Amino acid sequence: MTETNGKIALVTGGSRGIGRSIAERLAKEGFYVVINYVSNESAAKDVLSAIENAGGKGQIAPFDVSDFDATQKAVEDIVEELGGLHILINNAGITHDTLMLRMKEEDWTNVISVNLNGVFNCTKAVTRIMIKQRYGRIINLTSVVGEMGNSGQTNYAASKAGIIGFTKAAAREMASRSITVNAVSPGFIETDITMALTDEIRKSYIEKIPLGRFGSPKDITGVVAFLTSDEASYITGEVVRVNGGIYT
């Protein structure tokens, strides 16, 4: 049985990929984990079952991070039910990849709404309770694409670059209340998104990565877990790159 540390963590987009890996790792670290999802309840329940089978504790929370009002209400309900919220992992994200020449307005708007607006909506929702607690850890998942750019991903790159600027500004605003805000910038990680790439594209990316492979979700979760810990209490406003050396 995992011994809880009394802290509550919300992981957005926690039903699959990196989000799932983060949720399971934080549960092992003793956090009570709230797993956010939008539509795939079955996948979220699978994550919760895995956490509980490993001795951890948590619950699922369906809401769309791109919906400001729904997000505020969902977080209010979580805080009222559980009595607090100490960790926010802004992980939810989507892609609609295509060359800008062919990109539809909704392809741009949807990606910005989930990836960037979602970070604002969730952070805004937790700020009041974290200030009241005089404690909080906010970790935003950005991307190497937001730092170096990538053809066919102007919308995704813009959203992830925006997260970096948001992280640095929010860190300055919240530091006086013992709230840290950091970002983790994964490179190419083995997830549903990268698994959908053709073999040719995967090979071309791997050739550019000095370590010669895609990363795994666990390569990200260790960094996230560290940033939630007391050992990281003097780190804020940082972007931690986990990309195999493809961008330094």
Q: Name beta bridge partners: 9.
A: 33, 87
Selection from 238, 37, 233 nearest residue 137 by Cα: 233
| Tokens 């790792």 -> residue | 25
Reply yes or no on whether 135 is catalytic: no
Active-site choice (37, 156, 234, 247): 156
Query: Mind spelling out the 3-state secondary structure of the chain?
Result: CCCCCCCEEEECCCCCHHHHHHHHHHHHCCCEEEEEECCCHHHHHHHHHHHHHCCCEEEEEECCCCCHHHHHHHHHHHHHHHCCCCEEEECCCCCCCCCHHHCCHHHHHHHHHHHHHHHHHHHHHHHHHHHHHCCEEEEEECCHHHHHCCCCCHHHHHHHHHHHHHHHHHHHHHHHHCEEEEEEEECCECCHHHHCCCHHHHHHHHHHCCCCCCECHHHHHHHHHHHHCHHHCCCCCCEEEECCCCCC
Selection from 184, 228, 181, 220 nearest residue 29 by Cα: 228
Catalytic residues: 156
